[in-house]
Chains A and B, each alone.
Chain A
Amino acid sequence: MRRMGPEIPKWFMILSVCWLYKGVTCNSVEQKIYVALNNTVPCVRLLNATHQIGCQSLKSGSTGVLHVLQSEADLDWVLSTGPHPPYMVFMEASFFNNVTMMRLKNSTRVAGVAVVIPNTGPAQGYSPHTGCPNQNTGVYSEKYGPLLANCNNTVWNPLGNGLSYEDFRFPIFSLKDDNETEVIRKCFEDHNVAANGSAPQYPLCAMQLFSHMSAVIDTPTCMRRNHLQNSFSINPDMVCDPLRDYNVIAYLRPVNTSTKGHKANESVVIAATRLDGRSFFWDIAPAAEGTVAGFVTLLAAAHALFPVAQEVPPPRNILFTFFQGETFDYIGSSRMVYDMQNKKFEIDLDNVHSVLELGQVGLWNRQKLWMHSDPISRLNSSVEEEVGNLVNNIKFVASQMNLSVEEPSVSQALPPSSFQRFLRVRPVPGIVIADHEAAFVNRYYESIYDNAEYLNVAYPSNMSEAEQLDTVTDTARSLAEAATLVARSLYKQAGGSDPLLSNITADPKIVTQLLYGFLIQPNNSWFRALFRPDHQQVLKGVQSNYVGVRMPENAVKESTLLFQYILANLTGKATNLTQSQCQNPSDLPEESKDLYSYMWVKGPVSANETEGSPYCVRASTRLHEAYSPAFLLSDYASKEYSTWTESRWKVIKARIFLVASQELEMLTLGVGVAVLLVSLLVTYFMSSKAEILFSSARETSTTTY
């Protein structure tokens, strides 16, 4: 329909039709002008004690003439020669690197960037994270191992270009290579490409990105503004929120959580790993090798260990901790150490015997695993002895399994790990197990490309979900071996007897199902059976491991809750309790909410039913708040603890349209003003001379025009 047309029925009709019934095709003017881009992911602003990072747009959207980057000459067009600045740069992922982005960042002729992200990264690797992750909140500093601080002796992430930690004053959105991108390319080719490098003619294709961020400068500023809003406004308009969530922990032998502080006769081996990741763009963090492989291995290790260890309990307890928010200056582990120091946790640092942490293990492929330790704390002889014991235990188990596990050949720092936060406070003996001897082997550390494909977790597309769940991939097998190694080492470290070690074996089937759920499709039959009956709709899409913010404040991230349920199912027991008993077990004599968590789960669903057979799971797991102590103490400029916050925003959207030339706009305005003035003059003239002009057929002479 292409007419402005016979004004009468069309406009009213169409508007009423549009409002009431969306089935009829609407052709309002807005639909002729704008094409909305729906599958976009923005980059948002994060703030810490001293800086802001990320991107933001102007308040009413950043608009620019579209230009597709295909070569270096195009970059010059955008930066200097193009006649219609500002430009909105549309690029393939191959241009999304440090060199190009720094040049664009410093230019005033760039209104924004849209990047098309494919599923696999460039072969040489790509990491937008820094080269030395969490360098200021680890254990190494001027006072502790200055030669090892700031990655002086080993750069952990050599491929890191630091783009995630730059502050861009224009919006950057990511797009997938699909129909919408085709529309953009076509619009560019039709309107913005002139022959022989001359200037293209108006109307030109343009893009507008909306991602205005409310918070500015740094965390102390935005928290101060939050307080002002809370105190003085009826409808407070917050500007930022701290990054927070919950750590998931599980005890081998239940510990009374209602009494805090030191527990007598309790010596605990902590088995730790991280739960989160990030990428350049908001809420996208597949983190397959960086995070998922680690926690899947530890889950499988717990599943293998608990039955044996509960039959023949070892002398020491084992605490499995999955820390959330480690990417952002160790939010989860710093909070746990803080709580232990201040008697707010059920055990304290005196109860901690040793720490075994799992770093990145996804790419070891049954070749070699490395045991990293901290050389500075090992200068103390008692710590050295304990660490040596731990190393020997692991080596013993590895030799039993014919696996190769070694310490790095040169003395070097600990890789970025939650264990560093324990060392900051006390020289606890500990080991970090990883698949890299020095620098990471992960070529896509904390990037959007660290996905299932990178970890070789892929299934042929013609398989059904059930078949995919059953297939045991090679990655799953190798992670299962690592899990067995970890489980047996933990048992031995906790003082368990050697003959029982061979009973502890991780099940590759569990590992492959976990990998499938966390990397490809959380909404599968196994996860659904393990989770709450009333929350099933949250399992959708590929899981994002970004820690994020919580609204309302004490809510749990859905994927963390799912993780707790999975851990409960793998380490706990099914009981006979009814649903109401499950929710209030304190009425029953043998059950205790202080020692256990009780969870009502949906249960397996057989082929013909939709409702499972639900039951109550009892497990000694719980959630521990991963909220940085800096916010508890209101010390927003803290150098000790994580101060990361995420800005709030109102609108995030993107659209493309044509823009007209300035000349046409001014011409329209000029014609309008001319018409108005002429009509005013003519009307005044005719009105004042009306007696003369309309004299012949007047009926009365009393009124004048």
Chain B
Amino acid sequence: MTVAVFFGCAFIAFGPAFALFIFTIAKDPLRVIILIAGAFFWLLSLLLSSLVWFIAVKASNADNASLQRGLLIFGVIFSVLLQEVFRFAYYRLLRKANEGLATISDEEASPISVQQMAYVAGLGFGIMSGAFSMINILSDSLGPGTVGIFGDSQYYFITSALMTMAMTLLHTFWGVVFFHGCEKGNWWVTATVVCLHLLVSCLSLLNPLYEGSLPPVYCVMVVMAVWAFFSSGGSLNNLAQLCTRRKTDVSTS
């Protein structure tokens, strides 16, 4: 759909992730490493779940549409569960690494806190997930045509980009909440994260009924944003302090 749509969708899908990377991750090499390793863990989970789906599809009858749809739903659920398993595995790995980092650093404690690692890991998952969702669609959006000749919706590119942005941010928030739950031993928190991930992925199965998939996903994203804010140390008090600090700055200057 031409260059304008290409850049528009690229900015929508990857804008927040890019901003987060530039301002919070890029300056600290340790965070960059954790980000990339997180992306790699997500890739591993995708590889394994796709192998399973691929074998299932090859072993089944390609012409039976309802069977293929059923296999797709099974693939979705299996993949979500596998991603969360890998997220947990990454959590264990980072915990171990944290102890090592603490011993080799100049001060007593590790140079990076678990919350920061949680955020970076979540962002890593989100970026790789977004890349895999969106790059294929972006490359086709460069051509002159748009989706629709077979009756699909012409808003395909925009809704894909919006969905990708939501998923990237959601992965980030899930990372924070998940690690927080594992640290504190609140397994119900972890279970909720998994359930919400399943919910969001299954909502996307409703496409192209975009009204049924996008608004609920954005609602979930807002809820997760608030939850992540609170579990990483924010509070209403802090927000109030922010405003008063500003006011005092203004009044003193």
Contacts and interface: CB of A to CB of B under 8 A. Distances in A.
Q: Do A and B come from one complex?
A: yes
A671 B58 contact: no
Interface of A: 1-13, 15-17, 21, 23-25, 28-30, 32-35, 61, 63, 187, 203, 205-206, 208, 655-660, 664-673, 675-676, 679-680, 682-684, 687, 689, 692-700, 702-703, 705
Contacts of B206: 3
Interface of B: 1-2, 4-5, 7-12, 15-16, 18-20, 22-24, 28, 45-47, 49-50, 53-54, 57-58, 62, 72, 75-76, 78-80, 83, 107, 109-116, 129-130, 132-133, 136-137, 140, 143-150, 152, 154, 156-161, 163-165, 167, 201-202, 204-208, 229, 232-235, 238-239, 241-242, 245
Nearest to A23: B62
A694 B159 CA distance: 33
15 contacts: A6-B75, A12-B47, A28-B136, A33-B149, A34-B149, A203-B148, A659-B1, A668-B12, A669-B11, A683-B19, A689-B242, A694-B238, A699-B109, A702-B111, A703-B111
A11 B140 CA distance: 14
Contact of B137 (A29, A34, A675, A703): A29
B11 A675 contact: yes
A668 B5 contact: yes
Given A2-B152, A24-B58, A697 B115 contact: yes
Contacts of A671: 8, 12, 158
Contact of B234 (A660, A664, A676, A693): A693
B160 to A, nearest CB: 4
Contacts of A684: 19, 23
A32 B50 contact: no
Given A203-B154, A684-B23, A702 B145 contact: no
Given A692-B241, A696-B233, A6 B201 contact: yes
Contact of B4 (A658, A666, A693, A702): A666
A5 B205 contact: yes
Given A670-B8, A698-B233, A692 B242 contact: yes
A571 to B, nearest CB: 57
Contacts of A696: 233-235, 238
Contact of A683 (B23, B208, B235): B23
B57 A13 contact: yes
B8 A669 contact: yes
Q: Nearest 7 A-B pairs (CB), nearest first? A: A657-B145, A672-B11, A668-B8, A3-B207, A672-B8, A7-B133, A676-B15
A675 B149 contact: no
Nearest to B167: A7
Contact of A659 (B11, B116, B146): B146
Given A15-B136, A33-B145, A673 B28 contact: no
A61 B143 CA distance: 11
B154 to A, nearest CB: 5
A658 B146 contact: yes
B238 A692 contact: yes
A699 B114 contact: yes
A226 to B, nearest CB: 32
B146 A33 contact: yes
Contacts of B132: 7-8, 11-12
B149 A657 contact: yes
A13 B50 contact: yes
A687 B24 contact: yes
Given A24-B57, A683-B23, A693-B238, A6 B76 contact: yes
Contact of B136 (A29, A692, A693): A29
Contact of B204 (A1, A6, A667, A687): A6
Contacts of B45: 8
Given A660-B154, A669-B8, A683-B23, A3 B49 contact: no
A454 B246 CA distance: 91
A4 B62 CA distance: 20
Contacts of B158: 668, 671
B204 A4 contact: yes
Given A7-B129, A700-B113, A665 B1 contact: yes
Given A11-B133, A694-B233, A16 B54 contact: yes
Given A8-B201, A30-B143, A33-B149, 20 more contacts: A3-B207, A6-B76, A8-B79, A9-B49, A9-B53, A9-B76, A9-B78, A10-B72, A10-B75, A34-B143, A656-B149, A666-B4, A668-B9, A672-B9, A672-B10, A672-B11, A679-B18, A684-B19, A687-B24, A705-B24
Contacts of A693: 229, 233-234, 238-239, 242
A10 B206 CA distance: 15
A17 B8 CA distance: 29
A13 B156 contact: no
A222 to B, nearest CB: 30
A310 to B, nearest CB: 66
Contact of B75 (A9, A35, A679, A682): A9
B62 A25 contact: yes
A623 B206 CA distance: 69
A4 B75 contact: no
A698 B112 CA distance: 10
A5 B152 contact: no
Contact of A32 (B15, B83, B147): B147
B204 A659 contact: no
Contacts of B205: 3, 5-6
Nearest to A5: B204
B173 to A, nearest CB: 14
A203 B146 contact: yes
Contacts of B83: 8
Nearest to A691: B238
Nearest to B52: A9
B140 A29 contact: yes
Contacts of B78: 9
B60 to A, nearest CB: 10
Nearest to B15: A676
Contacts of A17: 54, 57
B204 A679 contact: no
Contacts of B235: 696
A377 to B, nearest CB: 60
Given A33-B145, A658-B146, A676 B154 contact: no
A286 B10 CA distance: 52
A675 to B, nearest CB: 5
Contacts of A32: 147-150, 152, 156
Contact of B11 (A12, A665, A673, A694): A673
Contact of B50 (A12, A657, A673): A12
B98 to A, nearest CB: 10
B80 A8 contact: yes
A13 B154 contact: no
Given A9-B75, A25-B62, A665 B4 contact: yes
B16 A679 contact: yes
A61 to B, nearest CB: 8
- Residue from A7, A25, A703 having most chain B Cβ neighbours under 10 A: A7
Contacts of B241: 692
B10 to A, nearest CB: 7
A665 B142 CA distance: 12
Contacts of B1: 659-660, 665
Nearest to A668: B8
Given A12-B50, A187-B149, A669 B133 contact: no
A201 to B, nearest CB: 11
B119 to A, nearest CB: 9
A3 B204 contact: yes
A248 B211 CA distance: 72
Contacts of A35: 149
A4 B137 contact: yes
Given A5-B207, A668-B8, A13 B80 contact: no
A8 B81 CA distance: 11
A675 B239 CA distance: 23
B145 A34 contact: yes
A15 to B, nearest CB: 7
Contact of B146 (A6, A655, A657): A657
